[in-house]
């Protein structure tokens, strides 16, 4: 059970009491010790209201909170109460992270005083948090820090719409430059631009992957899915498909009201239907349990031991587990002498977008990839690089500019 580092901005936590669980919040007292504040028993229908009331009381304990006006802590609380539940799970985690980092510094600050100077200080706090190396995790990159700060700006923008934050201050904050290489004090990492992975590398890699990973990579490459969308495919989506068209309802842009469709040939649908065999309608097509059963196929295992072993595996992959599984298999292959460059499932989308951009144009590629904006597609589209390589191949042996050709003798 993870304990939130800032006063209750984590999720409601569980603590075992005999044969039942208490629900509550871990808070840090004046001595820096984490203390569990009990809200009620698991199953209490009013637990969310008690949680919000506790948060409100926690903020009001600060002696410097003004009687009139709205503080930053109050704005954060209102956002968590009204807006946060409607966001995607990933977005919720990012919002909690950035708001939790800023609560101690700005919780008592009136929103009217949160201007560009305060925002610059917020940049420093988030960037310095990214410099901490804990449990072997790598330092945050500039792009990750700026991504978290964009969530803060979204909270402030929401506050303007509810008359909890000054529109003038928001406009002033938007003039502040994002954290970048010029801010040398941060010494954050710079992400290398992600590139496509050639098809011949994918095909060579398939030899070293387990059957379930091979199927996942094939389906992702065929449809250009995000890794998370491959993992979220359910049996229901496959069996209810008409003419090979599958609608995936769990995807990144679902919060914008967009709908995602993928079309497969009969041969490709056979891969998916084979994975659905023997599963319930609401189960996932690709599961870690399938991977385990494939690994122990043919071995004599007692039913009770098999059930106990399967209980340790989840009902679905997530994008991180999917990527780690591929990395482990390819790392093992490289140790045995295989010459396979490093690649990740995210690069498969780059390959898909570039291929379709060359065939049909960027707008079609953007639609197939499910991007909301063409600017997003431009990040994935490596058509210019592909065309430059193709032009170089066409020139090979046909132009007089190579090293093997003799340069004309200079005239005296």
**Domains of the chain: which residue ranges?**
1-44, 62-173, 199-389
Long-range contacts of 71-74 (CB under 8 A, 24+ apart): 71/107, 71/108, 71/109, 71/110, 71/111, 72/102, 72/106, 72/107, 72/108, 72/109, 72/110, 72/111, 72/114, 73/103, 73/106, 73/107, 73/108, 74/111, 74/164
The torsion region of residue 361 among left (phi > 0), alpha (psi -120 to 50) and beta comes to left
pLDDT score of 351: 85
Q: In angstroms, rounded to a whole number, what is the distance separating the alpha carbons of residues 233 and 99?
A: 32
Given this model, what pLDDT does residue 349 score?
85
Query: What does pTM read for this prediction?
Result: 0.56
> Alpha helices of 232-315 — where are they, by DSSP H?
235-239, 266-276, 288-295, 303-310
pLDDT at 150: 92
Detail the DSSP E strand segments found in 148-297: 245-248, 260-263
Tens-level pLDDT at each residue, the chain (412 residues): 444 444 444 567 878 777 778 888 777 665 556 777 788 888 777 777 777 777 666 655 544 444 457 889 889 988 988 888 888 777 888 899 899 889 888 988 889 899 999 999 998 888 888 776 544 556 777 888 888 999 999 999 999 998 889 999 999 999 998 887 666 556 666 556 667 888 899 999 999 999 999 999 999 888 888 888 888 889 998 988 888 888 877 776 666 667 778 888 888 889 999 999 888 888 899 988 888 888 888 787 777 887 777 777 778 888 888 999 999 999 999 999 999 999 989 888 888 888 878 777 767 767 666 666 666 666 655 656 665 656 555 556 565 545 554 545 555 5
Intrachain domains 62-173 and 199-389 with the same fold: no
Its CATH class, for the domain covering 62-173, is mainly alpha
CATH class of segment(s) 199-389: mainly alpha
Q: Give the residue carrying structure tokens 């979220």.
A: 232
What pLDDT score was predicted for residue 82? 86
For residues 48 and 55, the answer to whether their CB atoms sit within 8 Å is no
């Amino acid at each position: 059970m993870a304990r939130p580092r800032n006063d209750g901005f984590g999720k409601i936590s569980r603590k075992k009491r005999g044969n039942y669980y208490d629900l509550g919040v871990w808070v840090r007292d004046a001595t820096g010790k984490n203390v569990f504040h009990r809200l009620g028993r698991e199953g209490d229908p009013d637990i969310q209201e008690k949680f919000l009331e506790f948060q409100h009381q926690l903020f009001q304990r600060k002696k410097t909170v003004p009687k009139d006006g709205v503080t930053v802590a109050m704005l954060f609380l209102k956002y968590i109460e009204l807006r946060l539940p409607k966001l995607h799970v990933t977005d919720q985690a990012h919002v909690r992270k950035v708001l939790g980092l800023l609560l101690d510094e700005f919780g008592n600050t009136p929103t009217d005083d949160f201007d560009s100077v305060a925002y610059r200080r917020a940049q420093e706090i988030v960037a310095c948090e990214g410099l901490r190396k804990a449990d072997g995790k790598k330092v945050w990159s500039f792009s990750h820090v700026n991504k978290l700060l964009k969530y803060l700006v979204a909270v402030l923008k929401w506050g303007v719409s509810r008359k909890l934050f000054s529109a003038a201050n928001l406009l002033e904050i938007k003039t502040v430059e994002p954290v970048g290489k010029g801010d040398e004090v941060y010494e954050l990492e710079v992400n290398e631009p992600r590139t496509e992975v050639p098809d011949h590398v994918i095909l060579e890699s398939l030899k070293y992957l387990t059957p379930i990973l091979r199927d996942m990579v094939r389906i992702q490459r065929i449809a250009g899915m995000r890794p998370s969308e491959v993992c979220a495919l359910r049996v229901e989506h496959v069996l209810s498909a008409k003419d090979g068209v599958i609608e995936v309802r769990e995807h990144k842009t679902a919060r914008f009201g967009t709908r995602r469709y993928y079309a497969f040939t009969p041969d490709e649908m056979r891969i998916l239907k084979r994975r659905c065999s023997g599963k319930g309608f609401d189960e996932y097509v690709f599961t870690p349990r399938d991977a385990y059963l494939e690994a122990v196929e043919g071995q004599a295992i007692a039913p009770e031991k098999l059930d106990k072993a399967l209980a340790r595996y989840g009902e679905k992959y997530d994008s991180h587990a999917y990527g780690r599984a591929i990395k482990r298999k390819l790392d093992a292959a490289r140790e045995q002498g295989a010459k396979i460059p490093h690649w990740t499932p995210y690069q498969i989308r780059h390959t898909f977008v570039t291929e379709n951009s060359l065939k049909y144009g960027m707008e079609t590629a953007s639609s197939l990839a499910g991007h909301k904006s063409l600017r997003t597609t431009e990040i994935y589209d490596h058509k210019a690089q592909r065309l430059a390589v193709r032009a170089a191949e066409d020139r090979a042996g046909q132009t007089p500019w190579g090293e093997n050709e003799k340069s004309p003798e200079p005239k005296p």
